[in-house]
Amino acid sequence: MKKQNSIIGNMAAGNHYEWQLYVGQRWSSICNDIVIETHYCQPGATGITIYTSMGSLYIDFDAMTINGPYNNLSIRRNTFLNYNQKQEVGWYYKDNRHWFEYGSQGSGGNTSSIGSDYIEQQYNNNPTGSVQFTAGNMTYMVDFTAMTQTNLSTHMTRKVRRRPKLNSIVSDNNSSPMLESPTTNSTDSSTEFIWEFNGDKGIWTEYQKPGCSLDSAEIERLYQLNPECQVSFTAGRYTYTLYFGGMYQVNNKFGTKRQVRRIDSGVQQTNSAFSQARWQFQDVDGNWKDYSKGGSRGHCSVSSQDIEAQYQQDSAGTVKFWTGRFHYELDFSDMSQTNLSNHTRRRVRRLQQ
């Protein structure tokens, strides 16, 4: 809640950004971060040295890492925007000596056929992809993962940077109107939905604390306030951005993109077909045990209701899930589950209550 209050405080003060330092087990705000922000918005700035009670710390803007007298330090930049706002972002390439924004005239007198807005749009659609353009009689490709520009004829490569423009917040006319805040009543609508991301090996995993800084209920509240905005959060030592409009999340360091989904758990809980079915597996001791989230043998990513929901959609399909450090696949056709690491199979059954 302390982090959430910090976000609210920044928004109330009119600030649209906040730089934070990871020390020990938590993220802490950096005082006077306007100095960091000013430098970061300059395309030619590689980093900045800040002076703290821990000594001098160097922030590498390209890698978004921090070097100092202590290990395990991290840096991040959070953004806070209203539903109808967006931060102007500039895309730049380094010519022989200077940084030029795409769409402006370079040192050779040529102007690229695309500008920052178009590149940003393509980047948001696929942060690990690329985009091609022309300048003069040459064709180039910008690689979002490597952050490089390559001349497809000469194969010359140049550095590329993506930086926000200082204090440049504009109205986003494509944004949908803000939804009214949920009215207070006896039923908390935020508890009726579960938010999940498509994780490793295609397993849908719910956003839960303490591993993640946001859980399903908090994400749902933000979604109801603005179903077209983007939300920053942390999981482990990485920061992510969840895009409600496209229903995906992006790892802010590596650009990894994963699908996100919103499940109506209220419907699942009240549907008699779901609630009456009970799914069990035969354990090593021969006893039948229920699928249950957060069981005594380690956290399981699915419950009987989750499995039944998938079964109702495709009774001949499969469900992937994890328990502890192992990943499994449940096959409805032969009613078995398989450990995907050691291929151990166990019987599965569906009971009607």
Q: Where are the domains of the chain?
A: 1-80, 85-171, 191-264, 271-352
Cα Rg, the chain, nearest whole Å: 24
What percent of the chain is predicted at pLDDT more than 70? 82
What pLDDT does 83 receive?
60
Average pLDDT over residues 302-318: 84
Mean pLDDT across the chain: 80
pLDDT recorded at residue 229: 78
Indicate if the pLDDT at residue 175 is higher than 50: no
**What are the φ and ψ backbone dihedral angles of 176, each rounded to 5 degrees?**
-75, 155
Question: Domain 271-352 falls in which CATH fold?
Answer: 3.30.720
User: Are 45 and 59 a contacting pair, CB within 8 Å?
Assistant: no
Tokens for 6?
């910090």
pLDDT at 190 over 60: no
Is it the case that residue 96 has pLDDT exceeding 60? yes
pLDDT band at 153 (very low <50, low <70, confident <90, very high): very high
Residue 47 has pLDDT above 90, yes or no: yes
pLDDT at 182: 34
What pLDDT score does 263 carry? 82
- CA distance between the termini of the chain: 40
Is the pLDDT reported for residue 181 higher than 50?
Answer: no
Considering the four listed CATH numbers 1.10.260.40, 3.40.50.720, 3.30.499.10, 3.30.720.50, the one that applies to the domain covering 1-80 is 3.30.720.50
pLDDT exceeds cutoff 90 at 285: no
d(CA 54, CA 68): 8
User: How many CB atoms lie under 10 A from the CB of residue 168?
Assistant: 13
Please count the other Cβ atoms lying within 10 Å of the Cβ belonging to residue 186: 4
- The arithmetic mean of pLDDT across residues 118-130, rounded, is 86
Does residue 187 have a pLDDT over 80? no
Is there a shared CATH topology between the 1-80 domain and the 191-264 domain?
yes
Q: Give the model's pLDDT for residue 266.
A: 53
d(C-alpha 298, C-alpha 300), whole Å: 6
Residue 186, pLDDT > 60, answer no
Residue 61 has pLDDT above 90, yes or no: yes
Euclidean distance between CA atoms 300 and 263, whole angstroms:
18
Residue 26 has pLDDT above 50, yes or no: yes
Whether 99 has a pLDDT exceeding 90, the answer reads yes
- Yes or no: say if 109 and 121 are a contact pair by the CB < 8 Å rule: no
| Predicted pLDDT of residue 162 | 94
Q: What is the CATH number of domain 191-264?
A: 3.30.720.50
What integer pLDDT is reported at residue 194 of this predicted model? 87
Residue range 189-193: average pLDDT? 59
Q: In the prediction, which pLDDT does 132 show?
A: 92
Q: What is the pLDDT of residues 209-247, one digit of tens each?
A: 877 888 888 888 888 877 877 888 888 878 888 988 888
Check residue 9 and give its pLDDT.
Answer: 43
Rounded Cα distance, 343 and 13, in Å: 55
What's the average model confidence in pLDDT over 322-330?
A: 85
Judge: domain 85-171, CATH 3.30.70.100. Answer: no
Classified as helix, coil or strand, 203 is: coil
Q: What is the mean pLDDT of residues 65-75?
A: 83
Which pLDDT tens digit goes with each residue over 329-353?
999 999 999 999 899 999 999 987 6
- Distance (Å, whole) CA 265 – CA 219: 14
